[in-house]
Structure 1
Amino acid sequence: MNCTRCGFCLPSCPTYIQTGGNEASSPRGRIALMKAVADGKKEPDEEVEAQLNECLGCRACEPACPSGVNYGHILEQARAVIQEHKRYSVPVRVLRKTVFQWLFLDRRRMETVHRMRWMYEKTPVQKLMQKSGAFRLLPGEAALMERIMPEAAPPKQALRPPVLAVRQQQPLKKVVFFDGCLMSTMFTETNQNTLYLLEKSGCEVVVPDTQQCCGALHAHAGEADGAKKLAKTNIEAFEQIEADFIVTNAGGCGAGLKEYPFLLKEEPEWCERAKVFSEKVGDISTLLAELELPPMKLDAELVTYQPSCHLENVMKEKGNVEALLRRIEGVTYAAMPDKEQCCGSAGIYNLVQPRMAMKILDKKMADVRHVQASVIVTSNPGCLLQMKAGIEREGLADSVKAVHIVDLAAEALKQAESGVTT
């Protein structure tokens, strides 16, 4: 009801732009569709579902809205309602149950899948699959995504660190690290570099061994029950530890954790506990901006930054990654045009909406070419994979690379300490 249909959200919406100004593909249009369903003027038919599914959920419309419409909350509620009444085919039901009710509800299962992936890469199976062209038979951009996936870390390296991961005699801050399900398995090196940077900045770090997935993917997909279950598990795991800060290194996960009070709003006891929890959550870039890292140095590089939508639009943490980049000797920072526009990753959006995701990515890569940067920095794993996909699609692998800000900062710190640049 707060939406006054002023249209300030339109220029901020990637799907509105890519569809050439289709009103139904804008936040204002989608709110009108949802309101029509709520008022009984329209059935929640395939048209409504298609428009909600086409939305990236980037929430760039929220900072642009003068009326303070919390579009992200409305979208997730609408998707949850659709899920309650949606009748999927048997294969889709099996897939959704496998992903949302089995895999992401238990970290041990994620670790098992990681070990299977590592074995797949270390045996001839991967090369045989790639040479056979089997991946081209999969829908969307699955073949492209398979090529740019980071190499699986050996299972022993992917083990969760000890609960007291970093000990300090006189810590500047005591922080708890949310290490994430995908970050701890698919991006093991980034998590290890996170602990390294926290140690070098004087933090004592605890990693709760009972934490689970943040639940963001469940919430975005309308799987509210699964998201709530994971939220409660994480709140219980973290509230047992006295700490100054709950640190994340993935914008999507951080936003998911920040949203726990809304997710549990109908359960007063849990909602209050969620508020205490969420107030401590922040991105590592924000924490590092508060603390003094030792000097960092790299060979001369022109670097640009693709922000995480959820880091900026939900967590409201802006400018800290750029500030960190400017502290690295040898780095020249160039702002990407329209950097606040989503890259098209949006969780699993680039898998389920590949056509729109690639159109958005093509525009983003044109912006990368414009700044002529040799390094694209990101602050979220999905964004990192999406930018790597863009580099691959554009044939720029020999001249451009995409890295997580944590990995770049850790490399710069290690090079400064050793006195050697590469």
Structure 2
Amino acid sequence: MTATKQQEKTIQDFKDRMDYDELMNCMRCGFCLPSCPTYGETDQNEAASPRGRIALMKAVVDGKKTPDEDFERQLNLCLGCRACEPACPSGVKYGHLLEEARDILNEHKKHSLPVKVIRRAVFDGLFPHQKRMRSLNQMLWLYQKSGLQKIVRGTNILKVMPGQMATMEKVLPEISSPKELKNRPHHIKPKGEVKARVAFFSGCLMDTMFMKTNDSTLFLLEKAGCEIVIPQTQNCCGALHAHSGEKNKARELAKKNIVAFEEENVDYIISNAGGCGALLVEYDHLLKDEPEWHERAKNFARKVKDISEILLEVGLPAMKLPEQIVTYQDSCHLRNVMNAGMPPRVLLQMIEGVTYVEMKESDRCCGSAGIYNILQPEMSTQILDHKMVHAQATKATTIVTANPGCLLQMKVGVEREGLSDTVQAVHIVDLLAEAVREGEKDVAVNN
């Protein structure tokens, strides 16, 4: 093995920073293999499995392998869904190993100028700044409302877009107006008894592109008897940064959120996006090497709950919908990191009129995985196509998920299969909010 000077520096960082005990915890038993989407989609290529990737990381640390392009390609092919973790009898935190390895690689990688510009624009210039996110949202709103969207769709421009981008444009949610974005609440008190005082993590994409879902979340929390505070100084959770080799930026964002939320005297911090919640609940790990922040991060993380968990705990009014078959696609991080796979299912089965049908392999990633569907379109589409086979087998007219990326991915799947006239994909809180409203109407009529 002959390493370049750049690779030697990378190898040294792998030796210094990778958790060798965690690498050694992997017993090579193979229990993780059936749970790994890329292992299955690559005809059981060992290098494309959690066990194989851990072996590759260990080989770099041991000086037996150079961190070359093939090594980086295998790490990038991983969805980061962390389905291997619940399957692991040794409890290996594969996700932590993957994030650290990607961070090391990114620090030593010489990106081309266009890639540098894009990464800086996205990771530094856009997501950490809510005002800029709102400006982008305003541009999308103008695109939809000005007639430009219709003009673009009438041309062949979208057909030359890479991967699934053209289909993703078709499934964009209806964007809220600038006026609606300005009038965001900061404190909501329920009518009657206060069952819990909670702080809502509104997110960056969730409070712009998916603002209506955030409104549904606040509506449900209020109906459940929660007093809600929405800290104004909160920012992006940092998940996209942590998963993409930008951990220092993720730490900065985490610290700002900890400061914003610890000023509020609340029982819980509520998230409605599985991807965000999974990082919020691991802020203590993200800041484990900073003693002045670690304990504060622990206090923050122990309060984090998914919206489905708190609604199940405090209870909702009677819910009703027109008769329909509903199935559920897991948010990987909600299930595998937050261990909240059951609450969404229980809530869905509480709705009168809903026949719930479990989807085969509903716990397997849909192929969204943050921006994976943009960076790895071929593998993402392959995974999605298999997912839609299982979705259609349920005969469901409503596919429910609990994360914005998963929601868009399932909408893409519905569109690709030509099912948009008969099947809808919805975020769970939007469906629950509709069910509560219909339940209230039913009570009013019967009284």
TM-score band by shorter chain is over 0.9
Distance 2:351 2:287 in 1: 41
Q: Which residue of 2 aligns with 1:290?
A: 313
Distance 1:53 1:147 in 2: 27
Q: 1:152-192 CA deviation, whole Å, 9 max, x = no partner?
A: 11112223623213355641100000011000111111100
SS of alignment partner, residue 242 of structure 1: coil
Counting only pairs closer than 5 Å after superposition, residues 367-406 of structure 1 correspond to structure 2 as 367-406=390-429
Q: Which residue of 2 aligns with 1:410?
A: 433
Q: Which residue of 1 aligns with 2:385?
A: 362
Does the 8 Å CA contact 2:241/2:250 hold for their aligned counterparts?
A: yes
- Decide which of 263, 274, 279 is 2:302's aligned counterpart: 279
The question of 1:66 aligning with 2:89 is answered: yes
The runs of 5 or more residues in structure 1 that have no matched partner are none
Write the letter of the residue equivalent to 2:341. Answer: K
Write the letter of the residue equivalent to 1:324. Answer: L
The question of 1:243 aligning with 2:244 is answered: no
Q: 1:289-331 CA deviation, whole Å, 9 max, x = no partner?
A: 1112110000101000001000010011121001101110000
How far residue 127 of structure 1 moved from its aligned partner, in angstroms, is 2.1
Q: 1:249-282 CA deviation, whole Å, 9 max, x = no partner?
A: 0000100101111111110111110000000001
Q: Which residue of 1 aligns with 2:353?
A: 330
Name the Cα RMSD after superposition. Answer: 1.2
Does the 8 Å CA contact 1:252/1:311 hold for their aligned counterparts?
A: yes
Distance 1:155 1:166 in 2: 25
Q: 1:374-401 CA deviation, whole Å, 9 max, x = no partner?
A: 1101011111101000000000111111
Distance 1:17 1:127 in 2: 40
TM-score, L = length of structure 2: 0.92
Distance 1:180 1:383 in 2: 16
Counting only pairs closer than 5 Å after superposition, residues 208-223 of structure 1 correspond to structure 2 as 208-223=231-246
SS of alignment partner, residue 362 of structure 1: helix
Distance 2:185 2:324 in 1: 36
Q: Which residue of 2 aligns with 1:119?
A: 142
SS of alignment partner, residue 205 of structure 2: helix
Of 65-74 and 157-166, more deviation after overlay is shown by: 157-166
Distance 1:199 1:262 in 2: 32
Q: Which residue of 2 aligns with 1:46?
A: 69
Write the letter of the residue equivalent to 1:26. Answer: S
- Decide which of 119, 135, 141 is 1:96's aligned counterpart: 119
Distance 2:193 2:434 in 1: 25
Write the letter of the residue equivalent to 1:101. Answer: D
Of 132-141 and 275-284, more deviation after overlay is shown by: 132-141
SS of alignment partner, residue 184 of structure 1: coil
Q: Which residue of 2 aligns with 1:129?
A: 152
The question of 1:310 aligning with 2:298 is answered: no
How far residue 140 of structure 1 moved from its aligned partner, in angstroms, is 1.4
Does the 8 Å CA contact 2:103/2:245 hold for their aligned counterparts?
A: yes
Write the letter of the residue equivalent to 1:31. Answer: I
Of 151-160 and 105-114, more deviation after overlay is shown by: 151-160
SS of alignment partner, residue 361 of structure 1: helix
- Decide which of 203, 227, 233 is 2:256's aligned counterpart: 233
Does the 8 Å CA contact 2:192/2:225 hold for their aligned counterparts?
A: no
Write the letter of the residue equivalent to 1:353. Answer: Q
Percent sequence identity over aligned pairs: 58
Q: Which residue of 1 aligns with 2:8?
A: none
Does the 8 Å CA contact 1:168/1:203 hold for their aligned counterparts?
A: no
Q: 1:97-146 CA deviation, whole Å, 9 max, x = no partner?
A: 00001101111110111111111112232222222221222221111111
- Decide which of 15, 29, 37 is 2:52's aligned counterpart: 29
TM-score, L = length of structure 1: 0.98
Q: Which residue of 2 aligns with 1:183?
A: 206
Of 165-174 and 387-396, more deviation after overlay is shown by: 165-174
Does the 8 Å CA contact 2:277/2:338 hold for their aligned counterparts?
A: yes
Distance 1:77 1:193 in 2: 36
Q: 1:165-221 CA deviation, whole Å, 9 max, x = no partner?
A: 335564110000001100011111110011100110000000000000000000000
- Decide which of 16, 19, 41 is 2:42's aligned counterpart: 19
Does the 8 Å CA contact 2:173/2:209 hold for their aligned counterparts?
A: yes
Write the letter of the residue equivalent to 2:342. Answer: G
Distance 1:123 1:205 in 2: 35
